[in-house]
Structure 1
Amino acid sequence: MKGLKKQRRIQIIVLAFVALAVATGLVGYAMKDGINFFRSPTQVAEAPPPPSETFRLGGLVEEGSLIRGQGEAITFAVTDGNATIPVSFTGILPDLFAENQGMIGTGRFIDGTFVADEILAKHDESYMPKEVVEALKEQGEWKPEATN
């Protein structure tokens, strides 16, 4: 009787570990497209990601780089003070999007240009995304009096 209880307990423990491993694998598989890593322009310039990888690029919109093309096509450059990455975007930019302001874009790096699917801009005159602040601090370009 004791051997049967011990065997049953071991079976339940093994089954619980297998179920936990399967659940963890399914959660990871479901989230793989939803996880986008943040990179600064310097990180992208030093180690360009493959064109198949979707990631977030953030920095300041470079002064004088904003060019509006035909329709909703827009090109500009994003910088962190150390490196500059050209960006192309087709769509409507947020109202607060402007040169020398913080932005974060989600997209892919194709042929030396960040092709953005989504652009986010600061939401008021004192806000800058946390990732952009950290990247600017690393490059020595952080100006705390201009942002929060």
Structure 2
Amino acid sequence: MKSLKKKRRVQVLIATAVALMIATVLIGYGFRDGINLYRSPSELADRPPAVGEVFRLGGMVEEGSLIRGEGTTVSFSVTDGGDRVQVSFTGVLPDLFAENSGMIGTGQMVDGVFVANEILAKHDEDYMPRELADSLEQHSYQAPNS
């Protein structure tokens, strides 16, 4: 009788371990494209991303760098006070997007240019995403007053 109980316990433990392993694999598989790491322009210079890697780039839009192309295409430079990255975006920019203002974009590097598929702009002068604020503080960046 005791050996039957012991066998059942071992079977339940093995089944639980297998179920946990399957759940872990499925969660990892689901997140493989959903995790976008944040990088600043200086971090990109130090550690370039892998080809095709999607990530978030944040910094301040440099004054005088905003160039409107044909249609809804725009290009501009983003800096954190240390380095700068050229950005290209096709789409409608947020209403609060401006030079000397913080932004975070999601996209990937293509031939040395960050091609963004989404751009986010800070919503007022008091708010700045934590990652962007930390990056700017690290490089002692001060945006010029407009």
Same fold (TM over 0.5): yes
* Residue correspondence of structure 1 range 117-132 to structure 2 within 5 A: 117-132=117-132
Q: Identify unmatched segments of 5+ residues in structure 1.
A: none
User: By how many angstroms is 1:142 displaced?
Assistant: 5.6
RMSD: 1.3
Equivalent AA in structure 1 for residue 95 of structure 2? D
Could you tell me how far apart the structure 2 residues matched to 1:141 and 1:94 are?
Answer: 23
TM-score, structure 2 length as denominator? 0.95
Deviation at 1:2, TM superposition (A): 0.6
More deviation, 123-132/108-117: 123-132
Deviation at 1:51, TM superposition (A): 2.6
What's the offset of the Cα at 1:107? 0.1
TM-score by length of 1: 0.93
**Could you tell me which residue of structure 2 aligns to residue 71 of structure 1?**
71
1:90 alignment partner in structure 2: 90
Superposition misfits of 4+ residues, deviation over 6 angstroms = none
Q: Distance in 2 between matches of 1:131 and 1:27?
A: 26
Counterpart in 1 of 2:7? 7
**What pairs up with 1:104-119 in 2 under 5 angstroms?**
104-119=104-119
- Residue segments in structure 2 that go unaligned for 5+ positions in a row: none
Please list the CA deviations of residues 91-135 of structure 1 after superposition, one character each: whole Å capped at 9, or x if unmatched: 010000000100000000111100000000001122111110011
Alpha-carbon distance between aligned partners in 2 of 1:47 and 1:86, rounded to the nearest angstrom: 16
Looking at structure 1, the residues matched to 76 and 69 of structure 2 have their Cα atoms a distance apart, in angstroms, of: 11
CA distance in 2, matches of 1:140, 1:3: 69
Whether the aligned pair in 2 keeps the contact of 1:42 and 1:82 (CA below 8 Å) is yes
Could you say what secondary structure the match of 1:103 adopts? strand
**Does the aligned pair in 2 maintain the 1:66–1:74 contact within 8 Å?**
yes
Map of 1:37 onto structure 2:
37
Deviation at 1:32, TM superposition (A): 1.4
Which residue number corresponds to residue 136 of structure 1? 136
2:44, 2:82 → 1: CA distance?
11
1:47 matched to 2:47? The reply is: yes
- Count of residue pairs the alignment pairs up: 144
Q: Percent identity?
A: 58
Write the deviation string for residues 17-46 of structure 1: whole angstroms up to 9, x where unpaired. Answer: 110110011011111111100000001111
What amino acid maps onto 1:24 in structure 2? T
